[in-house]
Amino acid sequence: MSDISRHHLNPPNRVLLGPGPSNVHPRVQGAMLAPLVGHLDPYFLTVMEDTMHLLRGLFQTKNELTFPISGTGSAGMEAGLCNFLEPGDVAVIGVNGFFGERMVDVAQRCGAEVVRVAAEWGRIVEPEAIEAALKAQRRVKLLALVHAETSTGVLQPLVEASQLAKQYEALFLVDTVTSLGGHEVAVDEWGIDICYSGSQKCLSCPPGLAPFTVNQRALAGLGARARKVQSLYLDLGLLSSYWPTGSFYHHTAPICMIYALHEALALAAEEGLEARFQRHLRHGSALRAGLEAMGLRLHAQEGYRLNTLTSVRIPPGVDDVRVRQRLLHEFGIEIGGGLGSLKGQIWRIGLMGYSSTQENVLLLLSALEKLLVAEGWSVEAGAGVTAAAQALREK
C-alpha cells in the first residue's frame, strides 16, 4: 500500500526575482480558491466580460477583441503570427534576443518568408535597420518586435517602428510579455495592430494565460486568407465568437485562472497605471544603482533598460550556477541565468508586479554581496544596499 503522504504537495516559499514567474499577490491566490462554476455559467460570462474591460484599460485600447488566450505567452505569440501569416507572406522581425529568435521560428513554421533585422543581444533594433528591411521588400505583410526582451533586459522603442509599418502598409505586432503592467503599453496611441503578453510577469498571476488584443484593421484581413488558420485552438475567428458571450463553444476556459487574472487586473486598476509604472521605475533604478555600486556592469544598452528586468554581467572568476543555487537554497531567492549566447555571461533579475518592492531590492543586494565576496569578488561592505537606499530616497 502506497504512502499517500509522500504525494502531498509542500512547495517552498521563494522570493521570485527571476525573469518570471513573479510572486503571486495574496488576493490573486485567494481568487483561485473561489467556487468553480461552469465555463458557460451566467456568472462566469460576467467575469469574462469584466476581464475584457479591465484588459482594455491595461493595454490602453478600445479594441473589441481584447481577451486572455488560454495558454502561456508563447500561445499569444503563436496566435499573433499564425492568424496573420500564410505561406509566401513576408514578415520582417526584429531579432535582438531569444524571443525575437522564437518569433522567427514560429513565423517560418507558418510558411512565411522571414526577413531578420538583427541587433546585438543587449541592444535595441534601430529604426534605420527596420526601414531598410521594409524598403527592400516588394510587399511586407507584418512587422514584429519584442517590446521587452526578457533574455537581455532591453526595452525596444516602438513609436517610430509603428510609423514605418503604416508607411509600408504592414501589420505591426508587438510582444509585451515582460512589459505589460510594468511599463506603458499604449496600443491605440502607438498604432499597434496585434499585441500579446503573459499573465505571470508584471501582472503577478500564475502562468497559463496570454492577454491579447487585436484591432479591426488586422481582423479584417482574416476573411481574405487563402486557407484556414493552421491552429483550430488559436483561430481568432473562432475565438472571437467565444469571447465575450460564450454563445459559441470553442474550448473549456481555465476558469480558476481567469478568476486569478481578473483579480490581478483589478489590483492594477486600483493602483493606477501611472503609479504602477513609477513603482517599477523606482525599484528598477534602485537595483541598478546597487549593482553598479558593487562593481558590477549592466548588460543592456544604456537608455533602453527595462525596469522590470535587469541584466547584469557575471564578474570574472565568479561561478554563475553556484551563486544562483546558493541564492535559492540559502536565501530563498530565485534569479535567472542567461539564455542562448548569453548563457553563463549574465544574470537576469526581475522586479515585476507583486515582486517589485523596495524590500526585495535590498534583500537581493545584501544576499548577493555575501555570495560575491565568498566567490572572491571585492565589494565594499554594504555598498550595494547603501546605493540602492539612496536611490530610493531620491525617487
Which residue ranges make up each domain of the chain?
A: 32-269, 272-394
Pick the CATH number of 272-394 from 3.90.1150.10, 3.20.20.70, 3.40.640.10, 3.40.800.10: 3.90.1150.10
Residue 40: what pLDDT? 87
Q: What is the pLDDT of residue 249?
A: 83
Model pTM greater than 0.75?
Answer: yes
CB under 8 Å to 44, separation ≥6 — which residues?
A: 37, 38, 246, 253, 255, 258
3-state class of 199 per DSSP?
Answer: coil
- What CATH number does the domain located at 32-269 have? 3.40.640.10
Measured CA to CA, the distance from residue 29 to residue 204 in angstroms comes to 10
pLDDT attached to residue 395: 67
Separation CA 71–CA 93 (nearest Å): 23
Q: Shortest CA distance to 284 belongs to which of 388, 390, 147, 175?
A: 388
Tally helices (H) and strands (E) across the chain: 13, 14
Listed as ranges, residues in the chain with pLDDT below 70 are: 1-6, 246-247, 395
- Scored b (16 or more CB within 10 A) or e, 343-366 reads eeebbbbbbbbbbbebebbbbbbe
3-state SS assignment for residue 262: helix
Q: Can you tell me the distance from the alpha carbon of 293 to that of 295, in angstroms, rounded to the nearest whole number? A: 5
Query: Is beta strand 113-118 parallel, antiparallel or unpaired with respect to 90-95?
Result: parallel
Gap between the Cα atoms of 115 and 90, Å rounded:
7
Cell matching residue 393: 530616497
